Every structure is written in C-alpha cells, then in structure tokens.
Amino acid sequence: MARNVNVTWDLPTTRESGGELLPSDILHTEASISVDGVTFTVLNTFLPSQTQALFMPDVDLGDWIVRLVVVDKALRRSVVVDTPFNVPDETAPGTVLNVVVTLV
C-alpha cells in the first residue's frame, strides 16, 4: 500500500562559518526523495516561512531517503541532510498453503 510522507524541519540560524543566518537570507529549502540513495527526485522547494510539508509521491514499501538542503539568496547551498525512513508492510498475512484434508 502506497503512503504519503510528512516532513518537518528547523531552519539553520547560523552559516557554516558560525556567522548569523537570518530567515530573510534564505531563498528556500529544497526537498528530494530517493529509493536508492543515489538518484534523488526533487519534490518541491519551500519558502523560509514553511518548515513542514506533506509529500504525496505515493511511496511504496521499503527503505527511502528524504534529502533537505537550504539555499540562500546568493544561491549557496547547505550541506545536504539525508534522513532515511521505512514504509513497513502492514498488510494482512498471506493465506495458508498446501492444505490437505484426509478422511479417516
């Protein structure tokens, strides 16, 4: 069964150097998703005022990775943050197999 993904995050308040980073310095946060950790599909970009999103890529069972990166107004990109998650199989058990009925 395919599922949707809700993601929340906190924006950085400093630059890599330790200097202050204001929300007005941020252009957007870019969110991507991957099933293999190599090929990522960009889902959307979000203004600094939005730090939560419901993605509806209908992810199937298995292991996935959400990647977030912050982009400032000078188009400098933060180090990526990859967060793995698993969509468990919550379906009912399969049917009994090889049933043999013998009259005695």
What is the domain extent for residue 24?
3-87
Which CATH number is 52's domain given?
2.60.40.10
- Asked whether residue 94 is assigned to any structural domain, the reply reads no
What's the confidence (pLDDT) of residue 1?
A: 59
CA distance 89 to 3: 11
What's the confidence (pLDDT) of residue 15?
A: 97
- Low-confidence stretches of the chain (pLDDT beneath 50): none
What's the confidence (pLDDT) of residue 2?
A: 64
- Asked whether residue 41 is assigned to any structural domain, the reply reads yes
Give whole-number Cα distances, 32 to 52, 56, 99, in Å. Answer: 14, 12, 47
What's the confidence (pLDDT) of residue 27?
A: 98
